[in-house]
Amino acid sequence: MPVLSIVACEMLEDELVYVLSKDPEIKRLFVVENKNSFRFVKKLKSENLKPFIFSSDKLYPIISEINRKSPGSFTKAFSNIHLCRKIYEFILTKEKKQELTVVVNLLRKGLHSDIDLLQSEVYLNAREMSKISNGILLFYGKCGFSSEQVQAELQQLGCPIYFLRDDGRNIVDDCISVALGGNEIYTQTMLSGNGKGAIYATPMVLSDLNETNYKSSKSYKKISKYLISPMYSLLFKINNQDYKDVNFHRNASEFAKIFNMNIINVNGTMKIAINSYMEAKTEICKNIE
């Protein structure tokens, strides 16, 4: 059974929940337990998914054991009978094609405050997961692996690495490019602001507003240092019916009010997330046939 591992940014958890909920061929779904996995798991369960949650030191040995196990003794016994061998091979091939193990490691969005740390964490987690994976999908934009050193190290893992790409086969710039549908659309949206400073909002970008006393939070203190400038006057609100945060509209209005911004509504899409996931899945299944 192929194993697709996903190293993901917390900013893209809504997109990741969406693609996983649309794949009926996932046989087992594992999530690495960490400080930011609680909300992600809650969203998965709201989509009737039933993830197994373990800390990384327990999870990876479990996956290794699953990979090591041979087919069931009953089925394997029949494979030794000449007349049944073709049936056995058909069943085994069908299992490989139709069943998938997915392992998700969701990294905190706060890593973006230090790009070197972010890229180091992406690589270190990918290296650890490569030991139990047939392929790894990096649910990140270029921010997660833009340095030449990290890119070179990823290619040396001995495990296929897949990226989020738009229709032009370009690796997406960041999570906003994913939400909008690609780098070209991202550029067009920027230009529509006529040079004014802008913030691009998805539910996860504004998720800190779900907390009480937002103005006392670390997030507010960090972002307000530059958003108090009058040059930042636009909030591009990316609307997508597949977003699950019921507070998104309220949070966008509150954020715009706090920083005196005008809201511009733009359409979002799950196209890049679903297409990139399906491409990675198809490739690893094909490679183990």
Nearest to 30 by CA among 1, 60, 2: 60
Q: Are residues 232 and 276 in the same domain?
A: no
Q: Are residues 145 and 8 in the same domain?
A: yes
Would you give the distance in Å from CA 61 to the centre of its chain? 23
The angle that helices 271-287 and 13-21 make with each other, rounded to 10 degrees, is 60
CATH number at residue 114: 3.40.35
Q: What is the pLDDT of residue 166?
A: 94
Q: Are residues 152 and 280 in the same domain?
A: yes
Q: Are residues 158 and 44 in the same domain?
A: yes
Q: Are residues 64 and 118 in the same domain?
A: yes
Q: Are residues 102 and 64 in the same domain?
A: yes
Answer whether residue 228 is part of any domain.
Answer: yes
- Distance of alpha carbon 166 from alpha carbon 88, whole angstroms: 40
Q: Are residues 144 and 194 in the same domain?
A: no
Answer whether residue 42 is part of any domain.
Answer: yes
Write the pLDDT tens digit of every residue in 10-50: 999 999 999 999 999 999 999 999 988 999 999 999 999 99
Answer whether residue 177 is part of any domain.
Answer: no
Q: Are residues 148 and 280 in the same domain?
A: yes
Residue identified by tokens 């997406």 is: 172
Q: Are residues 154 and 227 in the same domain?
A: no
Q: What is the pLDDT of residue 87?
A: 42
Answer whether residue 188 is part of any domain.
Answer: yes
Domain count, the chain: 2
* The two three-digit tokens of residue 128, written as one number: 């650890």
Q: Which domain holds residue 218?
A: 182-267
Q: What is the pLDDT of residue 145?
A: 87
CA distances in angstroms from 39 to 55, 141, 181, 187, 245, listed in the order given: 16, 22, 25, 31, 11
Residues in the chain: 289
Q: What is the pLDDT of residue 234?
A: 96
Q: Which parts of the chain sit beneath pLDDT 50?
A: 70-81, 83-84, 87-88, 90-97
Write the pLDDT tens digit of every residue in 101-115: 999 999 998 888 888
Q: Are residues 141 and 278 in the same domain?
A: yes
Provide the 3-class DSSP secondary structure of residue 236. Answer: strand
- Distance of alpha carbon 16 from alpha carbon 32, whole angstroms: 14
Write the pLDDT tens digit of every residue in 187-211: 999 999 998 999 999 999 999 998 7
Q: Are residues 67 and 45 in the same domain?
A: yes
Q: Are residues 167 and 187 in the same domain?
A: no
- Distance of alpha carbon 262 from alpha carbon 201, whole angstroms: 12
